[in-house]
Amino acid sequence: MTPVLLLTDALIWLLVLLVLAYARSVWRNPLSRASWSLVFESSIATASAVVLLVAVGIALLDSVHFRVTAEQQTKYGVPIVSALDLSVGPLAYQREKSYSAPLATHGLSKETLQVDGKPVRDYPRLKFGGAHLKHVSDQAQDLALRAYAGVLKGGLFWLVLLVALWTIRRAATGGAASVSVFTGSVAYKTLVWTLLLVCVGGCVISQWAQVYHVLGTDKVGVDVLYSALKSLRTAMLIGLLTTLLTLPVGVALGLAAGYFGGWVDDIIQYVYTTLNSIPSVLLIAATVLMLQVALDANPDAFASAIEKADLRLFFLCAILGLTSWTGLARLLRGEVLKLRDQDYVLAAKASGVSHVGVLFRHLLPNLMHLILITMVMDFSGLVLAEAVLSYVGVGVDPSMYSYGTMINAARLELSREPMVWWALAAAFVFMLLLVLSANLFADAVRDAFDPRARQLKQSLIRV
């Protein structure tokens, strides 16, 4: 295998480096460190952060790609695979004929089978799901044994994580011997038990997924759990990469409009007012369709369909960024209008500090809490926007895994008899966990970084 760097891979790893640089600056700044410590004093925020970190880890694992050799291509069926495909093993390439229910051993539809030389209409055994069972009646016992093994493995992994947490806490307290693994604040206890649920649940599902389709299969026999895990990368890219592309434009124009005023403010207001007047769905649909025509006209420009779909995903992020920076720019403009007449800004101007210095040394640090809160709160909206756009056919490439394409495919499956509900349920549960965790974490960030919100919440609690 040879490593392959897709465009979105490079951008998501660049975003990781930026986050690490920001974390380093927070660690060296006592005020920022104190604000983030307020975030993780919340039990809900701590549990949400664990869920988000698991999702980010899966997305990063799926952002390391390799080009397979001819021998491996017969196994995976595509010239480019990710580290996630290699780590999940059979889930990536084991395909059934068509639909099968969660943890099923037989297909969903009857077929004509040869039994003792006679044609019989019956449900066929799956090629991979439960194929190791000699008798279908042994399935319940097999599931129980595999769940027991998963609990043991998950508990062992959880203990390893607890030892790592204990080591970190002991180092942070200067090597205090009284630091206990299980005692601490309510948020720390929430972290411990959330990690237990994640470790045990993940290991049990992993044990089952080795020989069963835990969430069933779709119309073409692809494992639904595998599709849901692969869709996490698309959701995280839409939410994070769009923010990366939006942030510089929104911050720069918002600062310039509020600080300089006059004709600069008029032009910037005219630009974002015009963009807000255009229906975003129509703008995105027109741009994506024009891009698709250009891609179809140049099929030789891409070595594989994955690279073509990746370019479409990048342009979708860029288009969403083009239509979503206006809210941040308007918010920052209003705040800069209030801050530019403060004494410290006037003193900096009187001292001969340049406009760039005033903007980035004095105004921008006082607006970072608003930028951070806006970024975190916009994430969930962008994830939902991708699902809606893919549902109406103007989102990601149909060959790419995403929750929108899963929901779009499940739309027709609900009218079948028997009804195929598990693909829609899987997309719903995964999106619910991701968006709910992001929203709860965003609430904690807002309370910690916005003093007015924190004071209002404390006053309501006292009442």
Yes or no: say if 332 and 367 are a contact pair by the CB < 8 Å rule.
yes
Greatest mean pLDDT among 13-17, 74-78, 290-294, 354-358: 13-17
Residue 115 has φ and ψ, to the nearest 5°, of -120, 115
Interval 198-244: pLDDT, tens:
999 999 999 998 888 889 888 888 889 999 999 998 888 888 888 77
More reliable by pLDDT, 177 or 208: 208
- What whole-number distance in Å separates Cα of residue 55 and Cα of residue 236? 8
Q: Are 194 and 46 in contact (CB under 8 A)?
A: yes
- Residue with structure tokens 């600080």? 259
Please list, in sequence order, all residues whose beta carbon lies within 8 angstroms of the beta carbon of residue 303, skipping any fewer than 6 positions away.
79
Q: Tell me what percent of the residues of the chain surpass a pLDDT of 90.
A: 10
Name the β-bridge partners of 100. 217
pLDDT score for 152: 94
Q: Which of 132, 127, 159 is nearest to 143 (CA)?
A: 132
Q: Exposed (0-12), middle (13-18) or buried (19+): which is 417, by Cβ within 10 Å?
A: exposed
The answer on pLDDT for 463 being more than 70 is no
Distance spanning both ends of the chain, measured CA to CA: 63
pLDDT of 164 reads 85
CA distance 52 to 376: 12
- The 8 Å CB, 24+ separation contacts for 87-90 are 87/61, 88/209, 88/226, 88/229, 89/210, 90/128, 90/209, 90/210
Which tops the pLDDT comparison, 213 or 172? Answer: 213
Which strands sit side by side in the sheet containing 80-82, from one edge to the other?
2-4, 65-67, 80-82
Helices (H), 127-261: 139-172, 186-209, 224-260
Beta strand 111-115 with 118-122 is antiparallel
Taking 60 as the threshold, does the pLDDT of residue 180 lie above it? Answer: yes
Check pLDDT > 60 for residue 194: yes
Q: What is the rounded distance in angstroms from the CA atom of residue 37 to the CA atom of residue 367?
A: 19
The Cα–Cα gap between 312 and 7 comes to 10
281 pLDDT more than 80: no
- Averaged pLDDT, 267-274: 88
Q: What is the pLDDT of residues 333-380, one digit of tens each?
A: 888 888 888 888 888 888 888 888 888 888 887 787 788 778 777 777
Which of 27-36, 48-57, 419-428 is the most confident on average?
48-57
Which range (68-77, 81-90, 240-249) has the least confidence?
68-77
- Note the pLDDT tens digit of each residue in 285-340: 788 788 878 777 777 767 677 878 888 888 888 888 877 888 888 888 888 888 88
pLDDT at 2: 82
* Per-residue burial over 215-225, b = 16 or more CB atoms within 10 Å of its CB, e = otherwise: bbbbeebbbbb
Closest-CA residue to 166 (of 157, 176, 156, 151): 176
- 46 beta partners: none
Residue with tokens 């991701």: 434
Mean pLDDT of the 28-52 span: 85
Per-residue DSSP letter, 105: S
Specify the pLDDT at position 323.
Answer: 78
How many Cα atoms sit within 13 Å of 155 on the Cβ side?
A: 6
| Residue 4, pLDDT score | 81
Position of tokens 């988000």? 52
From 33-47, 107-121, 126-140, 247-261, the region with the lowest mean pLDDT: 107-121
The one-character DSSP state at 96 is: -
Q: Looking at residue 173, what is its pLDDT?
A: 66
**Cβ neighbours of residue 250 closer than 8 Å, sequence gap 6 or more:** 325, 326, 327, 328, 329, 332
